[in-house]
Structure 1
Amino acid sequence: MLQNVDAYSVLNSIKIIIFLNVILHKNLIIFDLLIASNELELDELVEHLQTHFINNNASWLRLNFSQVYRTSYQVKNFKIIRNFCNNIITKYPNTIFESKNFHSLPKDALISILKQDDLQLEEGRIWEYVIEWGKAKNPTLLINLNEWTSNNFLSLKETLKGCLPHIGYFSISGEHVVEKIYPYQQLLEHQLFSDINIKFITPTKPISSIVLPPRKILNTTLPTRITQIPLPSNIITNEHALEISSWIDKKRITL
């Protein structure tokens, strides 16, 4: 009798996995169709498919976030999905900054993130991520900064051109300025670096640099890294769990 129960459970598990795999594969097909529709300049279909994805397959977009976000910047007409991704990054910045694909993020996408005034990330961390991204784009740079030449700093500065103006330097604590900004001071214009020093030495003295307003941080304590929750099942994957979770969320909404 026990053997029959076990066999029945295994059979049901197999059916569920097959069903979930079909759904996940279907989502990939729809996303490929979205890309193809854009290439064929079927603008109305592109807009419809984007809306369909966000309303019905948001879990798949989140699961494949890095790929989706990169594609949204490579394809001009993916504005709806791009905005969807930007909203997620604003609330959960580690989604992209702690991603293994962060270094391959297009520059215009990074700039768009930096422009968000409600990005839930401390300014010192933003600076570190920007430096990390720039150094990844220059793999020949030495690890030890003391061994860098002026040309090394110039190369990194050129890579980060367009990114640096969107960092709120004057929202970074004095301690972090010393720890994080000073080692890379050659990346900054002389006047800006001078004003950063003046701001912490004589706060009331006028400065000529543009002072960006502080970001609208909603949580006083921000997470620093994504915690992976282990799945108890050896046969249900992260993809399957996320798809099931989306069904539960929809069910709760309809109750």
Structure 2
Amino acid sequence: MISYVENQFLLHHYTYLNENFLDIVTIAFQHEPWKRLQEFCLDHICPNPSIILTSTNFLSYSEAIFSGILQRDDLVMKEIDVWDMLLTWGINQEPRLGEYGEGNMISQIVEKWCDEEFETLRDRLKNCIQFVRFSDISPEDFFVKIRPLKNIFPEDLYEEILWKFISPRNVIFESKSFDVKNGFNLSRIRKHQVDTAIYSYANCGPQWGGNDLRAWGSFNADCCQCVHYRYENAVRNNPDLFSAEEFEVFQLVKRI
């Protein structure tokens, strides 16, 4: 019944949904079973997150909205801006936590906090923080905007994040990078041509294109292979298996 109602609503009341979008967002995420309506909202928000960032309802949005946004790969937003969005939403709801925003350093805000304030923010962000892709944040931003909030992180998560910044083997900044230790956590990549997209499979690993470049098993063994399939040019002319301890990803620049 819920699915039928959602389908009818999306098919026959599309104009109404768009004209009242911000109210629809709030209502959709108040009802966990309304998956299609939630997906409709996320499809509109992710290409243009300013829709909610500039909304007068921003601070009243539910945690479920932000959790849904953060789990999307098509969110057009820098990861440090994602972090700022969460802090603005999490801190500014509670006057005693202070006011976070442009011109207000997080270190200046938290220096006035005691354990209770950290616990309040930790509880507010606990179901969102795990979806932030910290490996896409620069060391400078980590030091200024994340390190002062160490106390809101689960200890094991913070240690894992910290390790990415102190171990040069694990981090590639300003690129479309992957976390080889935790299932190749994809950066937020907008990819509309699915034939050449990057896929990640739990039982094997990442695949570029179809099998144009794929990896599976242990990176210490011959478990990588390139087979010319989807891409215009072959990634590697030799189809033999090879090993790789890590991938190095470069930014491609179009020649003029």
TM-score range, shorter chain: 0.5 to 0.7
User: 8 Å contact 1:96–1:102 — kept in the other structure?
Assistant: yes
Question: Aligned pair 1:162/2:123, yes or no?
Answer: no
Shift in CA distance, 107/209, structure 1 to aligned 2, threshold 3 Å: farther
Shift in CA distance, 138/202, structure 1 to aligned 2, threshold 3 Å: same
User: 8 Å contact 1:134–1:156 — kept in the other structure?
Assistant: yes
Match of 2:150 among 176, 185, 191: 185
Please give the alpha-carbon distance, in whole angstroms, between the structure 2 residues aligned to 1:78 and 1:197: 37
Shift of 1:208: 10
Question: Aligned pair 1:49/2:5, yes or no?
Answer: no
User: 8 Å contact 1:90–1:118 — kept in the other structure?
Assistant: yes
Please give the alpha-carbon distance, in whole angstroms, between the structure 2 residues aligned to 1:64 and 1:48: 17
Q: Per residue, is there more strand in 1 or in 2?
A: 2
Provide Cα deviations, 1:55-108, integer angstroms capped at 9, x if missing partner: xx1xx4334221111111224564433222110111111111222211111111
Amino acid at match of 2:97: L
Please give the alpha-carbon distance, in whole angstroms, between the structure 1 residues aligned to 2:17 and 2:83: 27
User: 8 Å contact 1:141–1:148 — kept in the other structure?
Assistant: yes
Amino acid at match of 1:186: N
Please give the alpha-carbon distance, in whole angstroms, between the structure 2 residues aligned to 1:149 and 1:179: 19
Please give the alpha-carbon distance, in whole angstroms, between the structure 2 residues aligned to 1:170 and 1:42: 39
User: 8 Å contact 1:135–1:141 — kept in the other structure?
Assistant: yes
Please give the alpha-carbon distance, in whole angstroms, between the structure 2 residues aligned to 1:209 and 1:153: 29
* Partner of residue 227, structure 1: none
Shift of 1:146: 1.0
* Partner of residue 187, structure 2: 214
Shift in CA distance, 175/156, structure 1 to aligned 2, threshold 3 Å: same
* Partner of residue 62, structure 1: 18
For the pair shown, the structure with the greater C-alpha radius of gyration is 1
Match of 1:204 among 147, 156, 169: 169
* Structure-1-length-normalised TM-score: 0.60
* Partner of residue 44, structure 2: 88
User: 8 Å contact 2:46–2:75 — kept in the other structure?
Assistant: yes
* Partner of residue 92, structure 2: 136
Aligned residues: CA RMSD? 2.7
Number of equivalent positions: 174
In the TM superposition, what are the counterparts of 1:12-161 in structure 2 within 5 Å?
A: 44-45=4-5, 47-54=7-14, 57=15, 60-76=16-32, 78-143=34-99, 144-161=109-126
Percent identical across equivalent pairs? 26
User: 8 Å contact 1:134–1:160 — kept in the other structure?
Assistant: yes
* Partner of residue 175, structure 1: 140
User: 8 Å contact 1:72–1:78 — kept in the other structure?
Assistant: yes
* Partner of residue 102, structure 2: none
Amino acid at match of 2:37: I
Shift of 1:126: 0.5
Please give the alpha-carbon distance, in whole angstroms, between the structure 2 residues aligned to 1:50 and 1:181: 40
The DSSP-based 3-state class of the residue aligned with 2:187 is coil
Provide Cα deviations, 1:12-36, integer angstroms capped at 9, x if missing partner: xxxxxxxxxxxxxxxxxxxxxxxxx
Shift in CA distance, 205/170, structure 1 to aligned 2, threshold 3 Å: closer
User: 8 Å contact 2:92–2:98 — kept in the other structure?
Assistant: no
Shift in CA distance, 115/42, structure 1 to aligned 2, threshold 3 Å: closer
Please give the alpha-carbon distance, in whole angstroms, between the structure 2 residues aligned to 1:205 and 1:52: 49
The DSSP-based 3-state class of the residue aligned with 2:95 is coil
User: 8 Å contact 1:123–1:172 — kept in the other structure?
Assistant: yes
Please give the alpha-carbon distance, in whole angstroms, between the structure 1 residues aligned to 2:144 and 2:111: 15
Please give the alpha-carbon distance, in whole angstroms, between the structure 2 residues aligned to 1:200 and 1:47: 46
Shift of 1:171: 1.0
Please give the alpha-carbon distance, in whole angstroms, between the structure 2 residues aligned to 1:107 and 1:191: 23
